[in-house]
Amino acid sequence: MKVTFLGTGTSVGVPVIGCDCAVCLSKDPKNTRLRSSLYVVVDDLHLVIDTSPDFRQQALRHRIPRVDAVLVTHSHADHIFGLDEVRRYNTLQNSVIPVYASAETVEDLKRIFNYIYVEAPPGTFRPRLEMIAVEVSFRLGQVTVTPIPVLHGKVKTLGFRIDAGGYSIGYVPDCQTMPDSSLTLLRGLDLMILDGLRHRPHATHMTVAESVEVLRQIGARRSYLTHMCHELDHGETQATLPAGIELSWDGLVVTL
Ligand SMILES: [Zn+2]
Ligand SMILES: [Zn+2]
Ligand SMILES: [Zn+2]
């Protein structure tokens, strides 16, 4: 299993438009964060978790050759506004592409991308997507995907656990509260990736300290924070994290 961090930034990305703070002006490439998304390849199956507004750029940067399925955590703009770009893979693969999300998110996607369902004139390209509401584990070839329900403020959001070839990862980019039942679903992971927005408390995201505590409870072999804002300098923040917990960055690849 090959896991690529396509983006590790919060909703506005880093640098932030019009901001001249030290992180936004930083020359360290690890302080540049596109909107959060994960790309997972298992043998010849290519999965993307969330299609951010930066998805086109991310797909070009990492030369993503195909997309066999999209998993969507929730319908906030920073996680879905690149969904239209998937139509290029409809053309390349000559197939409909399945999109898996909660029933609420599927409803939102159908409303927000309503033009997908209007018949297109010949020669024009609209995404061809099959929206599939999921609640419990499902299979994609040799891969098992398990939705992980969490609370993102008051918004019910999903993370995903992916099991394949004896390895397992968990990805929960937007989360403020991790229910005990979801902690149970994340047992025995090789890699866990969790929301770690900033140090100051936030209404809908975990702080770095809260995230570190939950990552300790999960106890994966390797743990990463994601969805960071411009208040976190990569080097400075990394230096304060306990062993086994790291800050992710755009372009990081973990092979299991
Ligand atoms: Zn987000
Ligand atoms: Zn800034
Ligand atoms: Zn969100």
The number of the ligand nearest the C-alpha atom of 197 reads: 1
Reduced to 3 states (helix: H, G, I; strand: E, B; else coil), residue 120 is coil
Q: Rounded to whole angstroms, how far apart are CA atoms 35 and 78?
A: 6
| d(CA 153, ligand 2 centre) in Å | 24
φ, ψ for residue 49 (rounded to 5)? Answer: -100, 110
pLDDT tens series, the chain, 256 aa: 999 999 999 999 999 999 999 999 999 999 999 999 999 999 999 999 999 999 999 999 999 999 999 999 999 999 999 999 999 999 999 999 999 999 999 999 999 999 998 888 888 889 999 999 999 999 999 999 999 999 999 999 999 999 999 999 999 999 999 999 999 999 999 999 999 999 999 999 999 999 999 999 999 999 999 999 999 999 999 999 999 999 999 999 999 9
Q: How far is the CA of 198 from the centre of ligand 1 (A)?
A: 13
Distance from Cα 105 to the centre of ligand 3, integer Å: 12
Residue 76 alpha carbon to ligand 3 centre in Å: 5
119 CA to centre of ligand 1 in angstroms: 31
**Ligand closest to CA 203:** 3
Task: Classify the phi-psi angles of 253: left when phi > 0, otherwise alpha if psi is within -120 to 50, otherwise beta.
Answer: beta
Tell me if 255 sits within 8 A of 1, measured CB to CB: yes
Q: How far is the CA of 19 from the centre of ligand 2 (A)?
A: 5
Alpha carbon separation from 87 to 6, 73, 75, 131 (Å, rounded): 19, 20, 19, 14
- Ligand 3 centroid, distance to 162 Cα (angstroms): 20
Q: Ligand 2 centre and the CA of 12: distance in Å?
A: 10
Give the distance (Å) from ligand 3 centre to CA of residue 36.
Answer: 10
Class of the 2-255 domain? Answer: alpha beta
CA-atom Rg of the chain in angstroms = 17
What distance lies between CA 80 and its chain's CA centroid?
10
The structural domains of the chain, with segments of one domain joined by +, span 2-255
pTM higher than 0.85 for the full model?
yes
Q: Please write the tens of the pLDDT for every residue from 154-182.
A: 999 999 999 999 999 999 999 999 999 99
Nearest ligand to the CA of 227 is 1
